[in-house]
């Protein structure tokens, strides 16, 4: 038995993103005497944060009024221009904003780095005496004898590949709380366990996801239009019967944030999201913005796309889910920061009231109710059929139907259909023999790049002498099923080149896992057709170190 230090708090928060930091700030605003800590697996706050990002400041206005005059970096670039293009292979059709429901407008929003916003929020939390521990991932959930969550255990440090302590071994700590808030982001590994243990998804649809891949570029100042926001749909995914879209945001300092989201419900196992992004950048309208510029950063993450019908039960004995752990992304708006922050604020208010009443480690169902009666629910219900309609009827017809459904819900309170159902992304992949391999163009090294070079721009680093954090439940499955049936899709859906099939000695192929490349996007945990891969936290501080993402 390893002796572990125990640290008691009133509230333990897992995840230093916008939801976790908003929870911490609101807790201290309501009751400054509360003892609150935030655990963050990244080397610093913001290191693992990646988003487009164009942000609705609604929740920020509620949490910290006057933020725009208080040094918040988000205030630097308000949205000034909103464009939506439907791309063909060589051209574009501009979609008039008047055709879209009013809530789709970006008027009053801001574009910038979500990572830098989180760094600023962390400063505000620390001013309120919140204790923040970067580089300490929550590795295990702690329960009492009655099955209630009583806190989390941080990961051990200094363990070799076989799990044996090295000379610099440091055991993880037990952080105990009256309540624990899980804000791990999309597909959090502890959240998965909580959903299973407490059957939190018994009355909702399964969560589904998109893979967002992003780059930052410094561009020619003559091409830069601060505050211009561009969204695209159509080509190139239209050629593989998949769907998703691109974004390009003109941010501060002659920099653009651009990226591409591929919905992970695609059927064709030869679809290669990274290469689809590289193709998209070569579109004439995108390329002419980037020409003469320089790429400075790269990264990827999974995005919740299930909408309102995929929100699970949010409370369980001893804890709650908030932010992307629960799944509050507004898919048509491509926004989830404001809803994540609001959920954290509601969690904080509920928890503070419960502690004041002398309660602890019970199920805070009033938090679940508060979310379902908030503007989060009102907003997400308006768009709850947008994703499934596009998924069912394709990019063109599905977009028209989704638009009609959103307009009807906005104007009359009902849509074209009842809330539609989802299928897990892992279940949608079909056999490789039903499709032809897709020939992707080679990168030119100017606009498009190869995958491993791209990973170097994520500044990812892991301690190599540690257990692999990408676990195979059955090591025979990749070569017995995934390779012969699905043509080894893990070699394509991973945006970091973690998985590759090799045969160095001619004895037959095997799956090689290059865990040191992992950017923590969780796509493998989501899309693996046999659900044989489990993502768990690596040693603290490992992973990407995103600047300004």
Instruction: Reply yes or no on whether 494 is catalytic.
Output: yes
φ, ψ (nearest 5 deg) of residue 308? -60, -40
With the C-alpha atoms ordered 89, 79, 77, 458, is the resulting torsion angle positive or negative?
A: negative
With the C-alpha atoms ordered 340, 346, 352, 358, is the resulting torsion angle positive or negative?
A: negative
φ, ψ (nearest 5 deg) of residue 257? -105, 120
With the C-alpha atoms ordered 160, 166, 170, 176, is the resulting torsion angle positive or negative?
A: positive
Task: Give one DSSP letter per residue of 295-350, joined into a string.
Answer: EEEEEEEEEE---GGG----EETTEEE-GGGT---BTTTTB-HHHHHHHHHHHHHH
Catalytic: which of 51, 325, 399, 448? 51
The CA distances from residue 365 to 354, 368, 372, 374, 473, in Å, are 11, 5, 11, 14, 34
CA distance 318 to 324: 19
Instruction: Reply yes or no on whether 37 is catalytic.
Output: no
Nearest CA to 212 among 283, 333, 304, 120?
304
Q: Checking phi first, is residue 387 left (phi over 0); if not, alpha (psi -120 to 50) or beta?
A: alpha
Instruction: Reply yes or no on whether 524 is catalytic.
Output: yes
Name the maximum alpha-carbon separation found in the chain. 67
| Angle between helix 337-356 and 18-30 (nearest 10) | 40
The CA distances from residue 481 to 210, 271, 474, 487, in Å, are 24, 18, 11, 9
For residue 421, how far is the Cα from the chain centroid?
21
Instruction: Reply yes or no on whether 468 is catalytic.
Output: no
Instruction: Reply yes or no on whether 51 is catalytic.
Output: yes
CB proximity list for 240: less than 8 A, separation 6 or greater: 266, 268, 270, 271, 276, 438
CB 305 within 8 A of CB 315: no
Catalytic: which of 72, 118, 324, 521? 521
How many CB atoms are closer than 10 A to CB 377?
A: 16
How many CB atoms are closer than 10 A to CB 302?
A: 25
CA distance 276 to 86: 16
The first and second tokens of residue 508, run together, are: 């037959």
User: Quick check: helix, strand or coil at residue 526?
Assistant: helix
CA distance 491 to 272: 9
Instruction: Reply yes or no on whether 204 is catalytic.
Output: no
Provide the strand spans (E) within 72-205: 81-87, 92-94, 110-111, 131-134, 138-143, 149-154, 157-159, 165-170, 174-182
Buried/exposed 188-204: b ≥16 CB within 10 Å, e otherwise: bbbbbebbeebebeeeb
Catalytic: which of 337, 343, 428, 537? 337
Catalytic: which of 113, 343, 494, 523? 494
Catalytic: which of 26, 295, 301, 451? 301
**Catalytic residue numbers, as ranges:** 51, 301, 337, 494, 518, 521, 524
């Amino acid at each position: 038995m390893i002796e572990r230090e125990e640290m008691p708090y009133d509230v333990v928060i897992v995840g230093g993103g916008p939801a976790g930091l908003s929870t911490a700030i609101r807790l201290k605003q309501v009751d400054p005497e509360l003892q609150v800590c935030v655990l963050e697996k990244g080397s610093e706050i913001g290191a693992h944060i990646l988003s487009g990002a164009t942000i609705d400041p609604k929740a920020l206005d509620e949490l910290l009024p006057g933020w725009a005059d208080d040094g918040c970096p988000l205030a630097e670039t308000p949205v000034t221009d909103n464009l939506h293009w439907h791309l063909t292979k060589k051209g574009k059709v501009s979609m008039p904003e008047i055709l879209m429901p009013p809530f789709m407008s970006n008027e009053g929003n801001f574009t910038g780095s979500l990572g830098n916003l989180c760094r600023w929020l962390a400063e505000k939390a620390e001013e309120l005496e919140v204790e923040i521990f970067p580089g300490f991932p929550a590795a295990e959930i702690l329960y009492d004898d009655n099955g209630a969550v009583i806190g989390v255990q941080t990961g051990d440090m200094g363990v070799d590949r076989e799990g044996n302590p090295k000379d610099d071994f440091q055991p993880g700590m037990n952080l105990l709380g009256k309540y624990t808030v899980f804000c791990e982001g999309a597909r959090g590994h502890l959240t998965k366990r909580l959903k299973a243990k407490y059957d939190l998804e018994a009355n909702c649809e399964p969560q589904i996801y998109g893979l967002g891949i992003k780059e930052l570029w410094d561009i020619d100042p003559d091409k830069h239009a601060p505050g211009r926001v561009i969204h695209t749909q159509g080509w190139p995914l239209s050629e593989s019967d998949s769907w998703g879209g691109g974004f390009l945001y003109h941010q501060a300092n002659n920099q653009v944030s651009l990226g591409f989201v591929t919905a992970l419900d695609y059927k064709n196992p030869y679809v290669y999201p990274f290469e689809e992004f590289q193709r998209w950048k070569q579109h004439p309208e995108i390329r002419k913005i980037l020409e003469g510029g320089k790429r400075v950063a790269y990264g990827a993450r999974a995005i919740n796309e299930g909408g309102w019908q995929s929100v699970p039960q949010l409370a369980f004995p001893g804890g709650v889910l908030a932010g992307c752990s629960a799944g509050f992304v507004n898919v048509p708006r491509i926004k989830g920061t404001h809803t994540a922050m609001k959920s954290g604020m509601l969690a904080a208010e509920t928890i503070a009231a419960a502690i004041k009443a002398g309660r602890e480690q019970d199920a805070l169902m009033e938090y679940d109710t508060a979310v379902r009666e908030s503007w989060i629910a009102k907003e997400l219900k308006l768009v709850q059929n947008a994703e499934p309609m596009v998924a069912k009827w394709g990019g063109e017809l599905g977009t028209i139907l989704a638009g009609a459904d959103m307009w009807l819900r906005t104007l009359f309170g009902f849509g074209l259909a009842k809330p539609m159902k989802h299928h897990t992304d892992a279940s949608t992949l079909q056999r490789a023999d039903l499709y032809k391999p897709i020939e992707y163009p080679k990168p030119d090294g100017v606009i498009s790049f190869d995958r491993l070079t791209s990973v170097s721009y994520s500044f990812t680093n892991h301690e190599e002498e540690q257990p692999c954090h990408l676990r195979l439940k059955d090591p025979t499955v990749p070569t017995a099923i995934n390779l012969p049936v699905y043509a080894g899709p893990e070699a394509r859906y991973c945006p970091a080149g973690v998985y590759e099939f090799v045969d160095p000695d001619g004895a037959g192929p095997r799956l090689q896992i290059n865990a040191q490349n992992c950017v923590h996007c969780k796509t493998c945990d989501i899309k693996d057709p046999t659900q044989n891969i489990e993502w768990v936290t690596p040693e603290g501080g490992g992973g990407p170190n995103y600047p300004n993402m």
